[in-house]
Amino acid sequence: MIINWFTLTIIGLISVALADVSQKVTLKGESPLSSITNNFLVWNSIGILSLIYFIGFGFSVPVLSNDFFIKLIPLAILYFLGGSFYYQSFKSNSVSISAVLATISSVITTILGIVFFNESTNIYKFIGAFIVFLAIIIVNFQKKLQFDRYNLYALLGGLFYGVAYTTDKYFVISTSPDFYQIALCFGVGMASFIFRPKQIISELKLFQNKLIPSIVSSVIFFFLYQKFLFWAISIGGEVGRIDVLNNTTIFVVILLEVFLLKERKDIKKKLFAAVIATIGATILVLAR
């Protein structure tokens, strides 16, 4: 099998879909964990797993610029904000609705990839971006346009993620993907604790052992997703196209919701919005 950015991204998107559904299990209903405490647990755990991987395969620390960690701080904050808003939306929304709303990230990565990394541009990219916006409208349309705070959380998560995903490329190509994964994960975990230390400590005291399987599952699948994502970027994948492809996980998420979480509400509307979002994503990917 030929290993290229497209193949790696497809493997990664399956991993992130499984991770998102696991996160829904962790955060649903009356879970004692907020999205912030979830961030703290999951990102630090991925950091530990990444460090074990790094040491186990005998990788060496790359030469770093003097301001590497200073530049990493705003990125860690972006990921913290993206995760906090996006996963907070799981408290009310189904995963698939949040995933459709978060496709806004693909518009952000496409624009920023063009501006900062001179990635390819043409009219079809903007047509694709417009179609993604249509999907966001569809998923919020009842008898009238309805936009509650949980939908806003998902949209804000997508916006912050879009900027963060674009910034990933700078770090991946200027250092090693494996070392960057370690630094990023511990950075986001630290940012979570700095922003809400008392809340995290109080919620950890209420931690329930029944949450362990879903958290462990999230950690493993997010770890795999990041590995394949950073690998795809390191071999030349454009951040805009990669993020757009990642957003087509909506279909996988819908199937997992139906079969694992037994969520069938508004399934036709979800599928229709997913189709529209995927059409927009496909146009963005194929645009040269």
- As a whole-number percent, the residues of the chain with pLDDT over 90 amount to 29
The secondary structure of 82-148 as a DSSP string is HHHHHHHGGGTS-HHHHHHHTTHHHHHHHHHHHHHH-----HHHHHHHHHHHHHHHHHTBSSSB---
- Tell me: pLDDT of 21 over 90: no
In this predicted structure, what is the pLDDT of residue 1? 47
Q: Give tens-digit pLDDT for 195-248.
A: 999 999 999 998 888 899 999 999 999 999 999 999 998 888 777 677 767 766
Q: How far apart (Å, rounded) are the C-alpha atoms in residues 253 and 241?
A: 20
- Tell me: pLDDT of 160 over 80: yes
> What are the residue ranges spanned by the domains of the chain?
5-20+34-286
Q: What is the mean pLDDT of residues 166-190?
A: 91
Dihedrals phi, psi of 141, to nearest 5 degrees = -90, 120
Average pLDDT of the chain? 81
In this predicted structure, what is the pLDDT of residue 251? 67
Q: Which of 228, 252, 278, 224 is nearest to 50 (CA)?
A: 224
Query: pTM of the prediction?
Result: 0.81
Q: Give tens-digit pLDDT for 72-124.
A: 999 999 999 999 998 888 777 566 667 667 767 767 777 777 777 676 667 77
